[in-house]
């Protein structure tokens, strides 16, 4: 029997963006959307258009600009939501409406305050309306894994009759066990008369660490679409990590006998981009995309891999677009660096290229070698920076610290063309520097989260800082910066965040 094709539905920009602290700007969403299209996913859930104006605009922009996948907007089964989702996705040549209602008694009673019959009617009406706009309509029964099985089958059969072409079975709270979830798929196949008229989709959350395995088991039992996110980000403990799902199918065709249309060589870039923009770093030992996923430390492993990689490697890092051989030193020329960046799928203007080359050379002066991780961080940072107009620019930073000195910082910042200077004390140099910046920019900005990561090992490693700032309307802004100096990286990240806030202010006053 030929291999079954499994469709991949990416919800990085919707469920993924619901990860605590992962707000993305519209530019960042568009860049991620283009990368997802390169990955060749089947459907991209670009957002929840009724949730906010920003969400609506992002879905619309993606629908207007990104070709390839279905562009999908999420909506509840209520008229105004469905209309809004359509208004956003209608610009795509492949629009999709994803409408959902909770179906478990728990959700019906406490959240929706509706009876089963009322929810059934809402689901039917919602799908019918969505179908009047587009052919590609997906219906989700939220909390399906805790829903009465016969009621679930009844509602699925009804929405397929109304025209749903994808029926999604979410394990919304990550409660199901693999065999149990597989049995649920079997039950649906056996008890929904028109099930062959729709694709069964699954959407698993990772609260018990089972999102990927539950999705895989569902596919083994007949599901034809898997929903998830890059790096597994999402509500609470996240969604199924799509890179893991995809690589299971690719690595074990003997077991699954199925494949996806995914261009796996784009996985690593997608993972880096999502981690960079959301500020949610990938743990080193994460399957597929973690830094250690293909690293061999033990001598016996290294020897085995050198003799034949199959001894310890079940996948080739190049399959996910990860090349480990890129290492630059201070003698590396512009052409070698340009070539390296091309291999990593980056394209830069000559001006950007010289800036990046200089940064890599400066780093090589400080570190013995500059590894691929450093290069990606520098390139991503430059790429991100180049698309934004900076209204807050750091001109100077001086810090004083020691075991008998109160940490002090003096900063000079150019704000909309005017240079302003301030100094401050703090519990550490970072605290002092950010206080000094805040003296200049005003008290309305608050620090929410701060994460420091050394990109490659050693005390001379490049520091990668991600942080979240909050403005007075409580809107959150993620920002990131890299530098070989921890304080500089932190201050640059604050400045980047401040620029995002200033851009938002200017947008509102335009
Ligand atoms: O987890 C969930 O149930 C969802 C639905 C909206 C599909 O995200
Ligand atoms: Zn979800």
pLDDT of residue 355: 82
- Looking from the CA of residue 74, the nearest atom of ligand 1 is 6
72: which 2 tokens?
């999908």
Task: Name which residue leads in pLDDT, 480 or 490.
Answer: 490
148-178 confidence digits (pLDDT tens): 999 999 999 999 999 999 999 999 999 999 9
Q: Whose CA is nearest to atom 5 of ligand 1?
A: 142
Task: Name which residue leads in pLDDT, 366 or 51.
Answer: 51
What phi and psi, each to the nearest 5 degrees, are found at residue 483?
-165, 160
How far apart (Å, rounded) are the C-alpha atoms in residues 226 and 297? 34
Mutate to test the pocket of ligand 1, among 55, 81, 111, 172 (most ligand atoms within 8 A of CB): 172
Q: Whose CA is nearest to atom 2 of ligand 1?
A: 172
pLDDT of residue 296: 58
191-212 confidence digits (pLDDT tens): 999 999 999 999 999 999 999 9
Cβ of 73 closer than 6 Å to ligand 1, yes or no, is no
248-267 confidence digits (pLDDT tens): 999 999 999 999 999 999 99
Average pLDDT, the chain: 88
Compute the distance from residue 174 Cα to the ligand 2 centre, in Å.
9
pLDDT of residue 367: 64
pLDDT of residue 301: 60
What average pLDDT does range 81-97 have in this prediction?
98
Tell whether the model's pLDDT for residue 298 goes beyond 60: no
pLDDT of residue 299: 52
Most confident of 150-154, 297-301, 495-499, 501-505: 150-154
345 HSE (CA, 13 A, CB side): 16
How far apart (Å, rounded) are the C-alpha atoms in residues 25 and 441? 21
- Looking from the CA of residue 144, the nearest atom of ligand 1 is 3
What average pLDDT does range 139-144 have in this prediction?
98
What average pLDDT does range 451-455 have in this prediction?
73
* Confidence band of 460 (pLDDT split at 50, 70, 90): low
Cβ of 100 closer than 6 Å to ligand 1, yes or no, is yes
Most confident of 139-153, 409-423, 456-470: 139-153
pLDDT of residue 162: 98
CATH architecture of 4-278: Alpha-Beta Barrel (3.20)
Tell whether the model's pLDDT for residue 413 goes beyond 60: yes
Range list of β-strands (E), 39-157: 43-47, 70-76, 95-102, 137-142
* Confidence band of 330 (pLDDT split at 50, 70, 90): low
pLDDT of residue 495: 84
- Looking from the CA of residue 11, the nearest atom of ligand 1 is 8
Mutate to test the pocket of ligand 1, among 82, 142, 176 (most ligand atoms within 8 A of CB): 142
334-375 confidence digits (pLDDT tens): 777 777 777 666 778 888 888 888 887 777 777 666 766 677
Tell whether the model's pLDDT for residue 385 goes beyond 90: no
Closest Cα to residue 226, out of 146, 170, 288?
170
Q: Whose CA is nearest to atom 8 of ligand 1?
A: 15
Q: What is the pTM of this model?
A: 0.76
- Portion of the chain with pLDDT greater than 90, in percent: 58
Closest Cα to residue 15, out of 36, 41, 46?
46
Tell whether the model's pLDDT for residue 300 goes beyond 70: no
Interacting residues of 334 by C-beta distance below 8 A, sequence separation 6+: 353, 354, 357
What phi and psi, each to the nearest 5 degrees, are found at residue 437?
-65, -40
Compute the distance from residue 220 Cα to the ligand 2 centre, in Å.
21
Cβ of 14 closer than 6 Å to ligand 1, yes or no, is no
Does an H or E element contain 259, and which?
A: strand 258-259
Mutate to test the pocket of ligand 1, among 164, 203, 215 (most ligand atoms within 8 A of CB): 203
Cβ of 140 closer than 6 Å to ligand 1, yes or no, is yes
Which residues have a beta carbon within 5 Å of ligand 2, which is an ion? 15
* Confidence band of 233 (pLDDT split at 50, 70, 90): very high
Starting from the CA of residue 100, give the closest ligand.
1
Mutate to test the pocket of ligand 1, among 205, 207, 239 (most ligand atoms within 8 A of CB): 205
* Confidence band of 326 (pLDDT split at 50, 70, 90): low
Q: Whose CA is nearest to atom 1 of ligand 1?
A: 172
Compute the distance from residue 193 Cα to the ligand 2 centre, in Å.
27
Cβ of 45 closer than 6 Å to ligand 1, yes or no, is no
Compute the distance from residue 359 Cα to the ligand 1 centre, in Å.
43
Tell whether the model's pLDDT for residue 10 goes beyond 90: yes
Question: 392-509 sits in which CATH class?
Answer: alpha beta
């Amino acid at each position: 029997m030929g291999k079954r094709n499994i469709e991949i539905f990416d919800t990085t920009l919707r469920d993924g963006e619901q990860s605590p602290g992962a707000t993305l700007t519209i530019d960042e969403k568009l860049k991620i959307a283009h990368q997802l299209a390169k990955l060749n996913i089947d459907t991209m859930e670009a957002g929840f258009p009724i949730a906010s104006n920003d969400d609506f605009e992002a879905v619309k922009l993606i629908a207007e600009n990104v070709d390839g996948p279905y562009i999908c907007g999420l909506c509840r089964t209520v008229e105004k939501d469905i209309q809004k989702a359509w208004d956003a996705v209608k610009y795509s040549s492949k629009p999709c409406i994803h409408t959902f209602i909770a179906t478990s008694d728990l959700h019906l009673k406490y959240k929706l305050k509706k009876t089963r019959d009322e929810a059934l009617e809402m689901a039917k009406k919602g799908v019918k309306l969505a179908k009047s706009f587009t052919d590609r309509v997906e219906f989700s029964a939220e909390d399906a894994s805790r829903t009465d099985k016969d009621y679930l089958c009844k509602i699925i059969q009804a929405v397929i009759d109304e025209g749903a072409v994808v029926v999604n079975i979410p394990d919304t709270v990550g409660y199901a066990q693999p065999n149990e979830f597989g049995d649920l798929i079997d039950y649906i196949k056996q008890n929904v008369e028109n099930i062959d008229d729709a694709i069964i989709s699954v959407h698993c959350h990772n609260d018990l660490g089972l999102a990927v395995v539950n999705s895989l088991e569902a596919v083994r039992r007949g599901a034809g679409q898997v929903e998830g996110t890059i790096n597994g980000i999402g509500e609470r403990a996240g969604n199924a990590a799509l890179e893991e799902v995809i690589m299971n199918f690719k690595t074990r065709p003997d077991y699954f006998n199925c494949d996806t249309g995914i261009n796996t060589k784009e996985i690593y870039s997608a993972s880096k981009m999502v981690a960079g923009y959301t500020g949610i770093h990938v743990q080193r030992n994460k399957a597929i995309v973690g830094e250690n996923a293909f690293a061999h430390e033990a001598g016996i492993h290294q020897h085995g891999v050198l003799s034949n990689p199959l001894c310890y490697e079940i996948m080739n890092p190049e399959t996910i677009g990860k090349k480990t051989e890129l290492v630059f030193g201070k003698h590396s020329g512009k052409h070698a660096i340009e070539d390296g960046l091309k291999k990593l799928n980056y394209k830069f203007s000559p001006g950007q290229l010289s800036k990046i080359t200089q940064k890599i050379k400066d780093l090589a002066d400080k570190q013995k070698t500059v590894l691929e991780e450093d290069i990606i961080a520098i390139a991503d940072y430059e790429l991100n920076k180049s698309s934004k107009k900076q209204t807050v620019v750091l001109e100077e930073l001086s810090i004083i610290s020691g075991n008998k000195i109160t940490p002090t910082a003096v900063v000079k910042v150019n704000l909309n063309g005017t240079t302003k200077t301030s100094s401050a004390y703090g519990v550490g140099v970072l605290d002092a520097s950010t206080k000094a910046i805040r003296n200049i920019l005003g008290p309305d900005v608050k620090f929410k989260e701060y994460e420091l990561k050394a990109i490659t090992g050693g005390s001379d490693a490049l520091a990668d800082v991600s942080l979240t700032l909050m403005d007075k309307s409580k809107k959150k802004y993620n920002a990131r910066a890299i530098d070989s100096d921890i304080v500089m990286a932190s201050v640059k990240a604050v400045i980047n965040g401040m620029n995002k806030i200033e851009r938002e202010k200017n947008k509102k006053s335009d």
